[in-house]
Amino acid sequence: MNRSAVEILREALALPMDARAALVDSLLDSLDSTVDPHAEELWQQEILKRAKELDSGSVKTVPWVELRSRLIAKLGNDG
């Protein structure tokens, strides 16, 4: 069975958001043929730092809908 990229994309877009996110992550990983160990270590440190900030309550998350509205308003005012 030979399916086109358009058919695959159509099916992927019909997946639940979590499944689409996992798929995107896997596809992006597949494009990275080389790994920079130093960059990987720095990313790991950054992830741990942000997780600690969230756990301690020193930073708060903003729902995407709210953030998107803010960005649209800002771009509308600046542009």
pLDDT tens-digit map of 3-54: 899 999 999 999 999 999 999 999 998 997 787 889 989 999 999 999 999 9
Q: Looking up tokens 């720095």, which residue turns up?
A: 42
Q: Total structural domains in the chain? A: 1
Q: Return the pLDDT at 1.
A: 53
pLDDT at 78 (0 to 100): 61
Q: For residue range 47-75, what is the model confidence (pLDDT) as tens digits?
A: 999 999 999 999 999 999 999 999 999 99
Residue 66, domain extent: 5-78
**Residue 35 to residue 38: CA distance in whole angstroms:** 9
pTM above 0.85, yes or no: no
Q: What stretches of 1-79 show up as alpha helix (H) in DSSP? A: 5-13, 17-31, 37-56, 64-78
